[in-house]
Amino acid sequence: MAEKINTNDGWRPLHIVAYNGQDQLVKLLIRSGAEINVRDPQGYTPAHRAAQNGHETALAVLLKHKADVKTCTSLNRTPLHDAVRTGEEPVVKLLLK
């Protein structure tokens, strides 16, 4: 059901909760069948959204469930690129593990 919800900008619920660092909701949506590597129209995944905002715990949940951190956006950015670009050092370290 969560995958059927879509915002005007193409974000799915998992994008939104990852962007906001709501790790418990990330877990709930994953348990409910949300697609881990779903992309918005610009190619961003929930991992990109968590990484660019420094949400280490939410990103760790996504990684535990096999989020693909090599996926590139339409700007050819991975979650690591976004974390570096926004100065999120703990997230950079997590992604380099």
> pLDDT (tens digit, 9 = 90+) per residue, 9-30?
789 999 999 999 999 999 999 9
pLDDT score for 9: 76
Q: How many helices (H) and strands (E) does the chain have?
A: 6, 0
pLDDT score for 10: 84
pTM: 0.90
Could you identify the residue written with the tokens 């881990």? 36
User: Does residue 46 contact residue 6 with C-beta atoms inside 8 Å?
Assistant: no
Burial class (CB in 10 A: 0-12, 13-18, 19+), 65: middle
pLDDT score for 4: 56
pLDDT score for 1: 44
State the architecture of 2-96 in CATH terms. Answer: Alpha Horseshoe (1.25)
Averaged over successive runs of 10 residues, the pLDDT of the chain (97 residues) comes to: 59 96 98 96 97 98 98 97 96 97
